[in-house]
Structure 1
């Protein structure tokens, strides 16, 4: 019998199971430390915390009036009627209590037909007009190429914003916010008002001449030109109207970004009077720095326009990171809901014997409820907006997260439980409203019950050729199937041995461990002779993938052009992770012979009955 972890009233599991079903006890000191960090919720939390329900559900309140989103008032008596409207409402009890009532359909929106598509690291997809980095205009070009090939979707890396300072964060998975986008992705020449200033485009395009993506140089160049455009044009009435519609959420982001330019990217180091969004002194700061605040709001407007143009009518699946930077805008805005002195990570496993520390502060579960789930709702909604799809990185984090105390190593952590049923129902509501499909990245150690809950809520699972032992033909239909991810070897890197060479160079394992790992992955490419070419290996991998009956089939552009280097090599600090451009310009992708063969293989797979 598989042992079941015991969860205490703080939501902390006293033990955990590894990938081999071996049980490990959590140190008592770790449990005591996490209890201190979590604290006890107020006695009346259950009387005011949000209720998440579905039409027809029985409720824990007998009689109440519900003020719906549209302003109408509906009385309820112990349960929600089957025709109760979906959405975010307010429940008022006769005793005078007011609680948020979130009514969800319980299942995410799903497309009627299967599709194949490209996974794109957008920063890497440079064109000849790019200023050093793949831009939203390049995403538009890739979308048009994909549509002509018969693809149904694109999957892109997180586009979320980082601190607007030198020392730009390279990892898309450690953003300053999960609600706003990174202006590095703007095509400067397409920003409203760009025709009124000298863009010095040759200097911008010269940023693409280097072998790596130099975000610091790109931001310095783009910021200078974008600021000139802003002061010359300002966005006019269209921007003013959009800014007003976004309300205080946008204002908070723009304020944080303006302060960052003066006081640095970590709000903990700012002057005391600026460290809280509700500080009275903050209004004075905004008044004195109104132009810079407006500039950062204007950048988001320009990004909104360009993303809409880039996605068109194709589903673009945007990626939601598991967390955000502890000194960033979301941490500043929601600091009262965050755990101090701990970060999110992963326990030791077969791929990392020391465990992992991802550096993001976790939300305290009861404080998330006390905030009416607003930090979660805003992040889901903003990442899903305008594109038709969402990939939730480390979807297991909706159920539990590995908390790492700052005093210890990643191996010294413990799992803390989250209100997963509520969170999944919120995802389903946002998916339903946006008509956006949802994929959950459920790779690695997945505890029992997670995939059942995902299936119940209409969240697609994730299946990788490198990880699955079954024939792809036996994979589930309710999934997105792929060969690899940004953290794993490309087909060319694996087949040629170049990936192992690079791992050896960066000391990610012993020779024996690395060769054993490569051999185990090569077993997932049956039917290839030892002397086969890279092209034959890539095509074979995607022919195997095409056997899967999964709803979505995804191929990376890296594989499709025979790139040997993976975008990111976990555990390395001296490698230019997230900074490697594709070796083929965007304009030349459609004519690339290998890319055409990969597209053909996946199109044939989707065309076969599931």
Structure 2
């Protein structure tokens, strides 16, 4: 039995697992998911958005198109090659109006190979940050990277969580994919900051804490930031910026103020506050104008500090696969999300028990009925201001593993998404922002996905721990790296401590962990690494392999650069210190790190000549 197409609800009854073995979804799961998905309106195909490209026929007959800039055009058949890209409104001859999205069909690409660092920003602490890596530390990393000829930084998701404690520790379960987490602000660089507000004794304890403590950091930062806001709230630049960001910012800032008042999960709030458009919400916003304004101001400062931190260097920001069901985006778009379902992954090499990531999925037909706006805003908000995008679990744009509530990760089913439309929207946003896009295509990848990504100039992910081929044979249209935040560091693999960590923190069978380690060791030692090599030699051996790759982006792990044993996250665990492990070397001391210098010598010279892209960058196929 092979994989087959989806049913009328988009559910794929038959599928192939990571070992290419046929699997079938239980009938009870299918029935439950059908009830959750529901039936789309009969006229959705006639009124829903159309995504196309110049030179293609949108299939709508004669159209009067009102373009984004307010100009009007009449077209019939194929769009002219010079038709403006963007989000337009089209009216057909029968008077039906629908969104017309015109994409270049291909993402922006840089013209030469370059290297950079992968950074868990919360872990990249310095003597100047308040116990958690911040945007000032990102600036330090950017300056250090530029000094040595690097071209990018790839950071963990910086998206906001609820402004309450305890804070959600996982960067991959944010409250929103459109706005950022103010815990990353460098406090002494905001307007209105007064050193007299500094909680010196508490700060001293936090800076030297063995783990990143988001709760303690936010509890110290919030009152100081609030005092700074009150001194600078009348800045006319703030009023201008806030007006430009419009209703989306006001909704988010209102949600933050409501979360402080009623808790971080909107589903537990008083009923009259469950609808963002309700009169009770508007009244709350008016009564608590200062608190709402404070949360808007925080986002302004995050924009300012991110721009200052990147200063022209590409910062590739990470787009999580979803958001918290109780968060801001779920509150605003609750009618587009599926209730009683979360997304994850079936068992694979990464986790033989499967994974549940805790995010409610977007219902495909409801996403179309919303003109794809939740997806557009999420992509645009994540790309903004930094020049790069990494799409976590890019296969989720094709299909997602839906897990019914109370079920195990193995009890799910794949639900299909309109991937052609979503990928062309990514290409449009990439084109507008001149942002390189990387698709994290690890795990179970169905046929056709690599080709669809390559057609649009979305770089694939090549990870040494997963690849059988020598890096010299890896594709050019890729980001190449040794490991990821979910996989062992080189030192943890080499000395066996990562295997011990997995056994202590997961229910994975010992034989699975042992066999997995042996597979990775075979890749690490294939150039002849001696069995008695010290950790620094093992790291250098791994990256000597990596730099043979012709891939457009070569990513070095900061954890490996400073010989950290622990990976940032072990998937499927809750009792481990995931997302809290700081780098053992402060970022303001990296210039003196002999271990980091080893890797910098390996990448010297990368990017000195242009690459030969499969198609000239920034052109449509």
- TM-score in terms of structure 2 length: 0.96
| SS at structure 2 position matched to 1:89 | strand
Provide the rounded CA distance (Å) in 1 between the counterparts of 2:340 and 2:329: 17
CA distance 1:510–1:26, change in 2 (3 Å): closer
1:406 and 2:405 correspond: yes
**What's the CA shift for 1:604?**
4.5
Query: Which residue of structure 1 aligns with residue 363 of structure 2?
Result: 364
- For residues 83-110 of structure 1, give each alpha carbon's deviation from its aligned partner in whole angstroms, at most 9, with x where no partner exists: 1000010001232211110000000000
Q: Tell whether the 8 Å contact from 1:481 to 1:550 is kept in structure 2 after alignment.
A: yes
| SS at structure 2 position matched to 1:29 | helix
- For residues 333-383 of structure 1, give each alpha carbon's deviation from its aligned partner in whole angstroms, at most 9, with x where no partner exists: 000001111110111223433321111000000000000000000000010
Q: How does 1:280-359 map to 2 (within 5 A)?
A: 280-359=279-358
Q: Tell whether the 8 Å contact from 2:367 to 2:374 is kept in structure 1 after alignment.
A: yes
Query: Which residue of structure 1 aligns with residue 29 of structure 2?
Result: 30
| SS at structure 2 position matched to 1:480 | strand
Q: How does 1:20-169 map to 2 (within 5 A)?
A: 20-169=19-168
Provide the rounded CA distance (Å) in 2 between the counterparts of 1:511 and 1:401: 29
CA distance 1:128–1:196, change in 2 (3 Å): closer
CA distance 1:557–1:113, change in 2 (3 Å): same
**What's the CA shift for 1:507?**
4.2
Q: Tell whether the 8 Å contact from 1:189 to 1:199 is kept in structure 2 after alignment.
A: no
| SS at structure 1 position matched to 2:602 | helix
1:498 and 2:497 correspond: yes
Query: Which residue of structure 2 aligns with residue 586 of structure 1?
Result: 587
CA distance 1:609–1:547, change in 2 (3 Å): farther
| SS at structure 1 position matched to 2:604 | helix
1:451 and 2:450 correspond: yes
Moved more, 198-207 or 550-559: 198-207
Provide the rounded CA distance (Å) in 2 between the counterparts of 1:357 and 1:582: 27
Query: Which residue of structure 1 aligns with residue 619 of structure 2?
Result: none
Query: Which residue of structure 1 aligns with residue 534 of structure 2?
Result: 533
Provide the rounded CA distance (Å) in 1 between the counterparts of 2:610 and 2:385: 30
Q: Tell whether the 8 Å contact from 1:508 to 1:571 is kept in structure 2 after alignment.
A: no
Moved more, 86-95 or 113-122: 86-95
Query: Which residue of structure 2 aligns with residue 170 of structure 1?
Result: 169
Provide the rounded CA distance (Å) in 1 between the counterparts of 2:351 and 2:199: 47
Query: Which residue of structure 2 aligns with residue 484 of structure 1?
Result: 483
Provide the rounded CA distance (Å) in 2 between the counterparts of 1:560 and 1:419: 40
| SS at structure 2 position matched to 1:60 | coil
**What's the CA shift for 1:550?**
0.4
Query: Which residue of structure 1 aligns with residue 562 of structure 2?
Result: 561
Provide the rounded CA distance (Å) in 2 between the counterparts of 1:598 and 1:445: 31
**What's the CA shift for 1:514?**
2.1
| SS at structure 2 position matched to 1:258 | helix
- For residues 248-279 of structure 1, give each alpha carbon's deviation from its aligned partner in whole angstroms, at most 9, with x where no partner exists: 00000000000000100110000011001111
Query: Which residue of structure 2 aligns with residue 420 of structure 1?
Result: 419
Provide the rounded CA distance (Å) in 2 between the counterparts of 1:609 and 1:545: 19
- For residues 53-73 of structure 1, give each alpha carbon's deviation from its aligned partner in whole angstroms, at most 9, with x where no partner exists: 000111221112000011110
**What's the CA shift for 1:508?**
4.0
Provide the rounded CA distance (Å) in 2 between the counterparts of 1:338 and 1:431: 25
Q: Tell whether the 8 Å contact from 1:196 to 1:232 is kept in structure 2 after alignment.
A: no
Query: Which residue of structure 1 aligns with residue 467 of structure 2?
Result: 468
| SS at structure 2 position matched to 1:281 | helix
- For residues 199-234 of structure 1, give each alpha carbon's deviation from its aligned partner in whole angstroms, at most 9, with x where no partner exists: 345543431111011111111111111111111221
Q: How does 1:547-558 map to 2 (within 5 A)?
A: 547-558=548-559
| SS at structure 2 position matched to 1:428 | helix
| SS at structure 2 position matched to 1:589 | helix
Query: Which residue of structure 2 aligns with residue 519 of structure 1?
Result: 518
| SS at structure 1 position matched to 2:428 | helix
- For residues 35-80 of structure 1, give each alpha carbon's deviation from its aligned partner in whole angstroms, at most 9, with x where no partner exists: 1111111111111101100001112211120000111100011221
**What's the CA shift for 1:407?**
3.5
- For residues 374-410 of structure 1, give each alpha carbon's deviation from its aligned partner in whole angstroms, at most 9, with x where no partner exists: 0000000010011010000000000000000114211
Provide the rounded CA distance (Å) in 2 between the counterparts of 1:93 and 1:509: 57
CA distance 1:142–1:235, change in 2 (3 Å): farther
CA distance 1:498–1:606, change in 2 (3 Å): farther
Which structure 1 residue ranges, 4+ long, deviate > 4 Å from structure 2? 604-610
Q: Tell whether the 8 Å contact from 1:130 to 1:205 is kept in structure 2 after alignment.
A: no
Query: Which residue of structure 1 aligns with residue 618 of structure 2?
Result: none
Q: Tell whether the 8 Å contact from 1:343 to 1:405 is kept in structure 2 after alignment.
A: yes
- TM-score in terms of structure 1 length: 0.98
Moved more, 198-207 or 523-532: 198-207
Q: Which runs of 5+ in 1 are unaligned?
A: none
Moved more, 179-188 or 192-201: 192-201
Query: Which residue of structure 2 aligns with residue 577 of structure 1?
Result: 578
Query: Which residue of structure 1 aligns with residue 601 of structure 2?
Result: 600
Provide the rounded CA distance (Å) in 2 between the counterparts of 1:130 and 1:63: 59
Query: Which residue of structure 1 aligns with residue 614 of structure 2?
Result: none
What RMSD over aligned residues (CA atoms) do the two structures have, in Å? 1.4
CA distance 1:566–1:482, change in 2 (3 Å): same
CA distance 1:596–1:379, change in 2 (3 Å): same
Q: Tell whether the 8 Å contact from 2:540 to 2:599 is kept in structure 1 after alignment.
A: yes
Provide the rounded CA distance (Å) in 2 between the counterparts of 1:149 and 1:552: 15
Provide the rounded CA distance (Å) in 2 between the counterparts of 1:210 and 1:317: 29
| SS at structure 1 position matched to 2:452 | helix
Length, aligned pairs only: 609
